[in-house]
Structure 1
């Protein structure tokens, strides 16, 4: 018994040792004057300083206090050094090989010299603050994760933080938000089994602008790409399909620090004061990202005691641990939100490679090569050779690290072998870090446009509002210009892989910043930007063909229009309610057809009976929502699995809703036929009936025979996992320590409350969700509200590790203090940072 008690005490001490000092006084070398860090009852820090240097030095110190292991993990990932941290692990080694091939950190190093002096000073001050904290603590006192990893690995002490560590994080952001590259690969792979370009395109339909409106309603800017002559490419080659498949396998091994898949997106909207209670704008934002513990965002306030040239910041919002500044939030004059624009900033170039050269316009051009050595904690070093063409690094077969094998083209081809190179805008060094600090100081539309011109990757929609009553939208981003290649066998707009041996398909430069879509104070009095198309088809510069299909955006727009039409004045409370909206667009599309078919068995039709009285809301306690979700996943399986290659099953996101919406209009269409039933040709109604029956039986097995016992939240849970220690492969006590208890949630993919799930996975569990929610009242900034998914702390032993998770799951937000008086009133702990040696 004494031994067990001693073990328990030891465990508590190990877990609690890394908890930071949050009250009293502490010396921080490098500070020019005292800095005050006030924390509210949820542990959120608000920093007050006299100079920018002290402000960002303190932010680095505080981020290290709360989230250093997360920061260290992120920098190992972005540098392709994960194997140094976690040891011999095939997934980590694959990730390192691909990230080294892409060269994230190499690009970040090149960006340092491009940045404005003030940005470099801020980044350096932040790094100095992080290192001041590291100097004060042993490794075990930094994070419990180090103590756990030390059990089986020989860990070195963490290296000092550098500004490039922060810049490399921007590459991870750009990677996870790069938009359509998965669709481009999926088109190429689907062609293998479908064999018809037009039929493949039916699975990637055009944006339904007649149903779901774009962000902007008009634009005078027209595309500028010139037409060029085309070459052809034979996508039917099994060898080419193998090259595409190997590229997909390689790129899918990269850890998605922000998340991936159909659920990655965001909602944002802003309403002018004409339609609000206060007479000034209200702005809302909730980015939909992967779920993890700790959560992706960390809340913070950065306040100069007196604004001046030496200290121009008075800003609060959401930051990333490891990056100084505020990424989304508000200052004293302007609030801004970000959603993924979804611009096509990647292309796969099919390269004909032979003897270290690639074919280009009939000539052989040497590949560029470099050697990379991956160090493995507890194992042997692994060496890879990275090869690149003029279009980008060769990513096919990058996981074959012993010998990067070439993939042969059909016999008799004079051109050599196929490889796949990745062209990606983020591999060109840029100035996004400058944009972060510029947005934090912006006060009007011109300031936002100037910041957007530097916000090159990832390409985001910016909605904004000002305290003097203006609202607006601005599209930033480095967007490739693609020539309109005439007589091309495949579209030349970037939606399909491109022939790398023909320069007609090369990028022609970047869309000028002044041509990017924007609007201020639109006549309808609001802007909704939720990943839908930015402009009507044909208007503005070409951005992409692969938008989110706009069902979330249209629901937000419809609710706002109804509120305005009825004379209801909008405020923070109504806006918070809309963020939690669970109206189901899938039901509005499918329910008439599902209720029209006959399910003759009295047992099997119990589920259909639920749908007859359903309010089409996917609340957590809804039995009908659970049944409908099962119907949807079974419908997709019955309709498409027989036509698509393994690994490309429908995920069920908004694209698939649009595919099925169109397909419902053709009851005898070929997609409905199940090719596995030889001699039988199925139609729409038979597949719908089968889906209803299969769902009834699936939920009977999972939730019980009585439909009244079913509940959507029972199967649709948000279960944040620790990036390193949360895996089922780890011991249960470790997982219990680092993984918060799952929460039942409502919502779903393509709903405003966008708790996405993957219909092809066999699970209804949440894969992506609003990683935070915020509502800003421009009339009274202290009346604004916010919440993050887990909590302010990255320490599993902290009470603030997951104290916001339950309120988040319930759709609740917390007060968001901004003024000095409000911060003082909200303070639960105050830490004074003093200059030290």
Structure 2
């Protein structure tokens, strides 16, 4: 016994030694992955010395002799701060996530591989002009040297037990392809759903459920599209179906953005002002990386400040002192589903020139800890085969993202543009996912146009799949710059967009409809812009933070007048308590509001109950149907049904009043689970969920990678769009020539490393709406890059 005790002590000490050694090694590896902020570093390929200055928030100011050196330095800081984020972007569009995450990503990779984006990216790189190619090469050299200069691989690779792969020029193109996947449909989901509705429903019901316009339209040219009339009868096969409900109790988030501008005659600066907030899924680190580039070009000094996308060498949105610009996603029609006519064994498909063989492609997918697998994809003259419809016909996909002009670096030219007209011309030559570009210049002019390729379509292709084999339908290249839709400096001095339809007439015909948002957000922004005759940057920030629920006021009135009757209130004490929160004049998505949460969830629950049987019927009719892709026009039809309460739409066992009552009961029961109604605020439901993609895989310490889960104001039908892990990925308000009074917010910080001295900085200003500066502040860290 006496001999065992010393042995146990010795064993314990040895174990503690190994644990301490392991912990020290782990600490050193994580600590060594921090970016270099100060001192000197020598880079191969630099033409001259470059200084990188960071303020206390980590915002980088890069001072270089020329644009290529600035690109190399930007690549250096991107990779040191954000390489794992960049890696996910390129793997996402290349269909190569399985090599990092294993079999769990395999189905996604198979789906993406039909687009052959890596092959297309190589083709695009080989087609770039010398200037763009040299810029891309400089950026790539900077990325790889930044990665190599880290003392250890980024900490995410330590967790995944992987080694990062060096950056290639084509990976920058793949990063932009990832934005295509995020912002546009990659497999014709909306067109397929509309086609299923067209086939499965009577024509008048299909038209009613897919209206072209509504009272919420807020086009900048004042155009209005009418809503289809309500059908006289509703088919019993649809309205009495009892199958499973698949519509979510939570409103799905709408990828998009807001932007607006006021001309110099309305601004306090004398220059025009642009405001922009891009709504995306938010995580740690943020999509964007703030930077200011200062370099010489044609004997002039260029200073461009704004947000960059790690993986690319340009400033995405920002100001150069002469112009400022921002983006919202354009939901124009940038793709088409083609129904193929094939021979009997589907080995050939019909074209205007007769039957042709499919082009087959073999691709290998590497899978972590497993053998690679080989898959086969097929192409047509129009695009890849993406599946088949319920009739057994193969489908092909024509998409802007598949063409050589989908991605280029023309965007960089905005850094030297001096007025709205020059910006318009650059926008029409740029290869990015089509955006509503809002631009303001120092002369006081403002403008809107589409930035990105616009196809020239042949025939009335509209929004439904078509057979292109006769030659009646097709794409005939792309619009030239002088054909692009644009609006410059309207007489009232105001412009706005919010993912809804922007224009009508001939301009609308060129853009088409790819699934616009309801116009409620845009209309509210328009209303705020016409409430004043002069605006400062802080005035425009107030619009960005507007949480009044104008769209939901009619739903509040419905509950007050039709549901909370004296009879029902006498029977339901909880309803009596709810009434006090529903009688306030102003309904806003504030964090402390109980009333907003009741009204919003009541509207959502009514929508779920009204359309659940329709959704079930269509899903069973064809599994390709997706309620999410067609939900926006259904908001218009929903209110018409609620307002008119037609007989025959609901099941015989139900009435409209019963539906409303049951919906309110469900909402209040959900809100009061384990708590009183008074504590069931909107902020409780709308708590931030801004997380690192790997945080859930790290026990105990993973939570320290995330932003705080605090309550957020805002929602989807108002200018301030914030909710959970979705919302304003940036807020920017700037007047060119007056950048010192500009405003910029990001939901997370510059840092990708949790031990960075500025990790999380700036987040509180984003949450609370504090007007944090657009320009970088006083230098706190300075790194000098030297040439060989």
Shorter-chain TM-score above 0.5: yes
1:504 is paired with a residue whose SS is: coil
Structure 1 residues 750 and 182, CA gap change in structure 2 (3 angstroms): farther
Segment drifting more, 637-646 vs 782-791 = 637-646
User: Match of 1:316?
Assistant: 305
Q: Is this contact kept in 1: 2:252–2:628, CA < 8 A? A: no
Matched, 1:281 2:272: yes
User: Match of 2:667?
Assistant: 695
User: Match of 1:399?
Assistant: none
Deviation at 1:292, TM superposition (A): 1.5
The one of 158, 178, 184 equivalent to 1:178 is 184
The one of 417, 424, 434 equivalent to 1:449 is 424
Deviation at 1:541, TM superposition (A): 3.1
Deviation at 1:189, TM superposition (A): 4.2
User: Match of 1:434?
Assistant: 409
Deviation at 1:633, TM superposition (A): 2.1
1:614-763 matched pairs, under 5 angstroms: 615-645=586-616, 648-649=626-627, 654-668=632-646, 670-671=648-649, 673=650, 675=651, 679-683=652-656, 685-701=657-673, 704=675, 706-723=676-693, 725-726=694-695, 728=696, 730-733=697-700, 735-755=702-722
Cα shift readout 1:54-100 (whole Å, capped 9, x = no counterpart): 111111111111111111222222222212222x223x112222222
Structure 1 residues 651 and 592, CA gap change in structure 2 (3 angstroms): farther
The one of 769, 774, 781 equivalent to 1:829 is 781
Mapped partners of 1:367, 1:59: distance in 2: 43
Structure 1 residues 133 and 477, CA gap change in structure 2 (3 angstroms): closer
Q: Is this contact kept in 2: 1:633–1:652, CA < 8 A? A: no
The one of 287, 293, 300 equivalent to 1:296 is 287
Matched, 1:214 2:219: yes
Matched, 1:577 2:542: yes
1:468 is paired with a residue whose SS is: coil
Cα shift readout 1:796-826 (whole Å, capped 9, x = no counterpart): 3324332222321222342122xxxxx5x61
User: Match of 1:204?
Assistant: 210
1:642 is paired with a residue whose SS is: helix
Cα shift readout 1:29-49 (whole Å, capped 9, x = no counterpart): 222221111101111111001
Matched, 1:560 2:532: no
Segment drifting more, 599-608 vs 438-447 = 599-608
Deviation at 1:310, TM superposition (A): 7.2
Cα shift readout 1:280-329 (whole Å, capped 9, x = no counterpart): 2221100011112111111111111xx33277642111111110010110
Deviation at 1:360, TM superposition (A): 3.5
Deviation at 1:540, TM superposition (A): 4.7
Q: Is this contact kept in 1: 2:52–2:782, CA < 8 A? A: yes
Q: Is this contact kept in 2: 1:650–1:656, CA < 8 A? A: no
Deviation at 1:370, TM superposition (A): 1.2
Q: Is this contact kept in 2: 1:190–1:644, CA < 8 A? A: no
2:436 is paired with a residue whose SS is: strand
Deviation at 1:349, TM superposition (A): 1.6
1:236-275 matched pairs, under 5 angstroms: 262-275=253-266
User: Match of 2:157?
Assistant: 146
Deviation at 1:744, TM superposition (A): 1.3
**Unpaired runs of 5+ in structure 1?**
220-259, 397-405, 410-416, 486-491, 757-765, 818-822
1:4-43 matched pairs, under 5 angstroms: 9-43=24-58
TM-score (norm 2): 0.87
2:722 is paired with a residue whose SS is: coil
Matched, 1:551 2:520: yes
Q: Is this contact kept in 2: 1:511–1:541, CA < 8 A? A: no
Cα shift readout 1:334-376 (whole Å, capped 9, x = no counterpart): 1011111211111122224434211346943211111111111
Deviation at 1:452, TM superposition (A): 1.3
User: Match of 2:243?
Assistant: none
Deviation at 1:582, TM superposition (A): 0.5
User: Match of 1:166?
Assistant: 172
Structure 1 residues 83 and 429, CA gap change in structure 2 (3 angstroms): same
Deviation at 1:10, TM superposition (A): 4.9
User: Match of 2:90?
Assistant: 75
2:61 is paired with a residue whose SS is: strand
Q: Is this contact kept in 2: 1:589–1:661, CA < 8 A? A: no
Mapped partners of 2:499, 2:319: distance in 1: 21
Q: Is this contact kept in 2: 1:42–1:803, CA < 8 A? A: yes
Mapped partners of 2:134, 2:48: distance in 1: 17
Mapped partners of 2:659, 2:190: distance in 1: 26
1:78-157 matched pairs, under 5 angstroms: 78-86=93-101, 88-90=102-104, 92-137=105-150, 141-150=152-161, 155=162, 157=163
User: Match of 2:239?
Assistant: none
1:387-398 matched pairs, under 5 angstroms: 387-396=378-387
Q: Is this contact kept in 1: 2:361–2:378, CA < 8 A? A: yes
Mapped partners of 2:33, 2:23: distance in 1: 17
User: Match of 2:315?
Assistant: 326
1:20 is paired with a residue whose SS is: coil
Deviation at 1:385, TM superposition (A): 0.9
Tell me the number of residue pairs that the alignment of Structure 1 and Structure 2 aligns: 730
2:297 is paired with a residue whose SS is: coil
Mapped partners of 2:336, 2:630: distance in 1: 24
Mapped partners of 2:324, 2:129: distance in 1: 23
1:392 is paired with a residue whose SS is: coil
CA RMSD across the alignment: 2.6
Mapped partners of 2:579, 2:505: distance in 1: 39
**Unpaired runs of 5+ in structure 2?**
1-12, 225-250, 620-624
Mapped partners of 1:503, 1:325: distance in 2: 40
Deviation at 1:652, TM superposition (A): 10
Matched, 1:590 2:555: yes
Deviation at 1:523, TM superposition (A): 0.3
